[in-house]
């Protein structure tokens, strides 16, 4: 996860953030991932046994905490599949609305997935971002034949 996170930020976010901001973002330490795994529902995407992306959602708060794809696999639908997977988990657990803080380079990605901007904001690291939200439809119940 660390390898994917650092590579994604360094390559995919460099057109929207300054080098000092990228450095602050990628140098949070390995404890970041341990904390994320312990406090959120995390899914990973693998290719040939190598992690190429991950996503995390806090089901208790309805907050998407992360969606990162390695730059070598970006644009191929990995991120969209990861996001759809955590949305399905949220629906099953009764979450009706997800929010997130989208990086400036990712707002179009989230917009295509149905997220709408709420406000411009600053992340916990002080980075410019866009707070976005999406209403989730309840899971469909399958009728059983009698």
Residue 113 — pLDDT band, cuts 50, 70, 90?
Answer: very high
Say what the pLDDT of residue 146 is: 54
- Convert the pLDDT of each residue in 84-110 to its tens digit: 999 999 999 999 999 999 999 999 999
CATH code of the domain covering residue 78: 3.40.630.30
Answer yes or no: is 35 within a domain: yes
Domain that holds residue 42: 2-135
pLDDT digits (tens, 9 = 90+) for 5-61: 999 999 988 889 888 888 888 887 777 888 888 999 999 999 999 999 999 999 999
- In this structure, are residues 40 and 90 in contact, taking their beta carbons and an 8 Å threshold? no
Query: Is 48 domain-assigned?
Result: yes
- In the chain, how many domains are there? 1
Q: How far out from the chain centre does Cα 37 lie? A: 13
Across the chain, what does the average pLDDT equal?
Answer: 91
- Residue in 115, 140, 127 with CA at minimum distance from that of residue 26: 127
């Amino acid at each position: 996860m660390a390898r994917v996170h650092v590579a994604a930020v360094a390559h995919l976010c460099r057109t929207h953030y300054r080098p000092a901001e990228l450095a602050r973002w990628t140098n949070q330490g390995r404890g970041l991932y341990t904390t994320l795994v312990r406090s959120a529902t995390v899914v990973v995407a693998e290719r040939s046994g190598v992690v190429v992306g991950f996503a995390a959602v806090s089901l208790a708060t309805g907050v998407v905490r992360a969606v990162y794809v390695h730059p070598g696999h970006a644009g191929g639908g990995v991120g969209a599949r990861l996001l759809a997977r955590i949305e399905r988990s949220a629906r099953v657990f009764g979450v009706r609305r997800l929010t997130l803080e989208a990086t400036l380079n990712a707002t179009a990605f989230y917009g295509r997935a149905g997220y709408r901007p709420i406000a411009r904001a600053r992340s916990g690291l002080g980075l410019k971002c866009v707070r976005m939200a999406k209403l989730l439809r309840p899971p469909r119940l399958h009728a059983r034949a009698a």
